[in-house]
Amino acid sequence: MKALVKAKGEEGLWLQEVPEPKIKPHEVLVKIKKSAICGTDVHIYKWDEWAKKTIPVPMIVGHEFMGEIIEVGESVQGLSPGDRVCAEGHLTCGQCISCKTGKRYLCTSRKGIGVNTTGTFAEYAALPAENIFKLPSFVSDDVASIFDPFGNAVHTALTFNLTAEDVLITGAGPIGCMVTAIAKMAGARHIIVTDINEGRLQLAKQMGATHTVDVSKTSLQEAVKTLGISTGFTVGLEMSGSPVAFNDMLKAMRHGGQIALLGILPPGTVIDWDLVIFKLLAIKGIYGREGFSTWFQMTNLLESGLNIDPVITHRFPIEEFDHGFRLMKDGKSGKVILNWE
Ligand code: NAD
Ligand code: ZN
């Protein structure tokens, strides 16, 4: 079969012929129809410091996909060939205190598909049945292929109440844009989205931002003054991983504000703790999805009319993967989908 392999410890990915996987009794074999490129895959492509110390080489990478089950292992129940599926990308151990107490999303030794173990940028993938999510028919193939980052967005956005709140979203990448659409649907009053990329701010506007601020041109403080929102934000959703954005957010929060932190800040990031303490701010880290609770929230939101289609900006056949990765690398796209057939 064809697969996108991190074959060498240098920039790039390679489309190669590899053996088809064989399933274990607890696994299913999925024929992949669509893959999507995640920011994590771009780190792996670029072979940055994080990738060098994390990714075993050679390995098939990738974790955002949808496809169809074509074979089920002998101990698998409730899944059959022909099922349209995607999968939770975090593998949990089942043995640690979190797993044993019914909070698998807090597993202390979880592994990432396509990061720590064989990924899904391939024609076929063998995956544990317990990670599989069956897709309802109202979810399109394209949207299904971005369920993993959509889940990050839903997990972040639904951590704090957004209805009637003033919400600051820093970072209008694909996940920030999906968060924006959820905040709009939840009935937030002001939804201010910041970025340093004009194209992405336009997308945020389309997804429901009431105001966007290009912080490379106007400071957030200045923009907030002009907009007349002087009391500060009650909810902050950090979606950029930028220390500058996070520090600006801390300054812009109202006393008692709540912050959900999805963006991965670089090691050694310094913040003004006085702002956290004297403004009595609550900061909550967000990682992945909150197990399948998030997955059902995702389908429920879509069924009740949430539209995340605009965040998908490019589609390529798998042979043109390099084009997709370059667009992502240069911040010139939303989500990029790679088609296997
Ligand atoms: P992305 O890199 O596409 O988006 C980040 C955006 O932030 C970009 O559009 C960038 O231009 C913008 N940005 C940079 N500096 C900024 C600044 N000073 N102010 C405002 N915006 C600024 O990433 P994404 O795929 O949308 O993911 C968002 C973040 O979440 C990333 O940091 C990613 O690493 C992280 N992430 C975390 C998890 C998790 O489980 N915690 C999962 C997926 C992604
Ligand atoms: Zn565990």
- pLDDT single digits (tens) 203-226: 999 999 999 999 999 999 999 988
200 lines ligand 1 (CB under 6 A): yes
Q: What is the CATH number of domain 2-151+289-339?
A: 3.90.180.10
Point out the residues of the chain with pLDDT beneath 70: none
What is the C-alpha separation between 60 and 62, in angstroms, rounded?
Answer: 7
In this prediction, residue 229 carries a pLDDT of 81
Q: Going by CA atoms, what residue is nearest to atom 33 of ligand 1? A: 263
Architecture of domain 160-285 in CATH? Answer: 3-Layer(aba) Sandwich (3.40)
Nearest atom within ligand 1 for CA of residue 261 = 41
According to the model, what pLDDT value does residue 227 have?
84
Q: Is the CB of 334 under 6 A from ligand 1?
A: no
Which protein residue's CA is at the shortest distance from atom 15 of ligand 1?
242
Tokens standing for residue 18: 């590899």
Q: Which ligand is nearest to the CA of 63?
A: 1
Clarify whether 269 is annotated catalytic.
no
Reading the block at residue 154, the tokens are 């839903």
The residue ranges of every structural domain in the chain are 2-151+289-339, 160-285
What pLDDT score does 143 carry?
98
Q: Active site includes 314?
A: no
Model confidence pLDDT, tens digit, residues 80-94: 999 999 999 999 999
- Interatomic CA distance for residues 43 and 189, integer angstroms: 35
CA 167/CA 152 separation, integer angstroms: 17
Catalytic pick among 43, 90, 155, 190: 43
Number of H helices, E strands in the chain: 12, 18
